[in-house]
Structure 1
Amino acid sequence: MTDLGRATRVLDALAESRGPLTVTDLTTRTALPRSTVHRVLQGLERELYVVRVPDRPGWVLGPGLLKFGMNAHLRLLSANRAALAGLAREVAENVELAVFSGREVVVVDQIASPERLRGVTKVGRSFSLHASCIGLALLAQLPDERVTELLPPVLERFTEHTVTDHAAVLAELAEVRRTGIAVDEEEHDLGICAVATGLTGPTGALQAVAVVVPTQRFRAKLPAAVEGLRRINPRVR
């Protein structure tokens, strides 16, 4: 593994954590030797990519990363906004743009329809990869070996409809790869369904575009949503 790969593994672990991580924590989460983790942290700390937490042991992501994140975020939004807005007008439902965030998926943009869903999804909200169509749409772009690395050993159940069996998730991904479409029927939130497609976007990043619909009108809206997603991603069948 290269030095860049080791640094990326440490940064990913910090990004996925809800709080500071110590050297011991990072050694466990990255499977890197303790001495390597310590050396990587020293280099990242010099550039302010990570900083120590004053009142407790451990490191968190630092301000040095902001310039990269803000630039990439703005490029991602500007490259996709017109297509998202067009799809939202067409289907009269909320449309969302999502990308990988470590071992989760995060919504980075949303176009609200006139019949908008309030309080369900917000920009910045993260979802598990296995229990959301945006997560499945992104995972389907990766080989099964990488999918297995990203999924936790125990898949969390969010509703009675959540798929929590690893083999079943892999089978579902095979179907997503075949059709270009991932469907979430109340797998993450009761009363909410969605359909998504994953693709390499204009910026070169893997991304997912989803149409989010209340359960009561999902079946009626599904054909129009799929057709709209097909115009964004010609691989949709």
Structure 2
Amino acid sequence: MRAVITTLRVLEAVAELQPVGVSAIARATGIPKTSVYRCLVTLREAEWLTASRGDRTQWVLTGRALSVGVHASGELGLREAALPTMRELRDETHETIHLSSYGADHDLVVIDRMDSDEPVRTWVHLGARVPLHASCSGRAILARLPDAEVERLLDGELERFSETTPTDLPAVLADLRRVREVGYATNDCAWRPGVGAVGTALVDPRGRPVGALAVSVPVQRYDAERARRLGPLAAEAARRISASLPPS
């Protein structure tokens, strides 16, 4: 039983940190490197993990692991509803489209991506946890919640990712008022350096947020004017996806 638990801890570490090497997994989990490597080999043989294409010493999740995660968390319906509109939005904007899910655990997680056809594009791995306060997807979600609930979710110190990250609650609440007015959130390198984005919430028939749609843009192609053009396109795409979601 202990070996199974250790292997699952290694799998969770890869999901959180990918692409990631043996040493980083050992540091994150406290598991000896030799044990980490044995777990990685087992997970590779089971087709849950594979070596990264860019660096064979780094490990990433396979489609099998991602598929199980999607089914287990009830995200399959969200993904199926969103994919056709994501493709249309990608073709219209020529930028990368990210789909994230938001559930009862209050985690916002990237579950699908439609890559840009531009040679310079943004990228985030599937399974990445998205910070609510620092990302446009997260603030689009928060804008759909009452301020009292937002205050509970953001209680405590807010992590700073860059010099543009909002790290105090009043600043976040002020931005949420703007998001509610225009229908989309913006992000100027506040989460990931070199990346701008616009994000909109996906809501169920009751109006509760269940996910977010984001148009992610390299900073070379992003400014306030581009955000104003992309925002309404993302908001309309999110409206269509939300309208197609079944009652939860």
Q: TM bucket by the smaller chain?
A: 0.5 to 0.7
Kindly state the Cα deviation for residue 201 of structure 1 after the two structures are TM-superposed.
Answer: 5.0
The Cα offsets for residues 49-79 of structure 1, whole Å up to 9 and x where unpaired, read as: xxxxxxxxxxxxxxxxx79943722211111
Kindly state the Cα deviation for residue 119 of structure 1 after the two structures are TM-superposed.
Answer: 7.0
What is aligned with 1:218?
Answer: 222
Residue type of the alignment partner of 2:160: R
CA distance in 2, matches of 1:213, 1:73: 25
Query: What SS does the aligned partner of 1:123 have?
Result: coil
What is aligned with 2:97?
Answer: 95
Residue 151 (structure 1) aligned with residue 120 (structure 2): no
Equivalences for 1:1-237 in 2 at 5 Å?
Answer: 69-70=71-72, 72-100=74-102, 102-115=105-118, 120-201=123-204, 206-219=210-223, 221-233=226-238
CA distance in 1, matches of 2:83, 2:152: 32
Kindly state the Cα deviation for residue 230 of structure 1 after the two structures are TM-superposed.
Answer: 3.4
Identity, % of aligned pairs?
35
Kindly state the Cα deviation for residue 85 of structure 1 after the two structures are TM-superposed.
Answer: 0.5
Uncovered stretches (5+) of structure 1, i.e. residues with no partner: 1-16, 19-65
Q: 1:189 to 1:68 in 2, by over 3 A?
A: closer
Residue type of the alignment partner of 2:227: L
- TM-score normalised by structure 2 residue count: 0.62
Kindly state the Cα deviation for residue 221 of structure 1 after the two structures are TM-superposed.
Answer: 3.6
Query: What SS does the aligned partner of 2:165 have?
Result: coil
Q: 1:68 to 1:192 in 2, by over 3 A?
A: closer
What is aligned with 1:40?
Answer: none
What is aligned with 1:62?
Answer: none
Over the residues paired in the alignment, what is the CA RMSD in angstroms?
A: 2.8
Name the count of aligned residue pairs: 172
Q: Is the 8 A contact 2:134 2:165 kept in 1?
A: yes
Q: Is the 8 A contact 2:96 2:121 kept in 1?
A: no
Residue type of the alignment partner of 1:232: A
Uncovered stretches (5+) of structure 2, i.e. residues with no partner: 1-11, 14-67, 241-248
Q: Is the 8 A contact 1:103 1:151 kept in 2?
A: no
Q: Is the 8 A contact 1:93 1:213 kept in 2?
A: yes
Higher mean alpha-carbon deviation, 89-98 vs 69-78, is at 69-78
The Cα offsets for residues 7-65 of structure 1, whole Å up to 9 and x where unpaired, read as: xxxxxxxxxx98xxxxxxxxxxxxxxxxxxxxxxxxxxxxxxxxxxxxxxxxxxxxxxx
CA distance in 2, matches of 1:116, 1:140: 33
CA distance in 2, matches of 1:125, 1:84: 18
Residue type of the alignment partner of 1:216: Q
Query: What SS does the aligned partner of 1:126 have?
Result: coil
- TM-score normalised by structure 1 residue count: 0.65
CA distance in 1, matches of 2:170, 2:219: 26
Q: Is the 8 A contact 2:184 2:232 kept in 1?
A: no
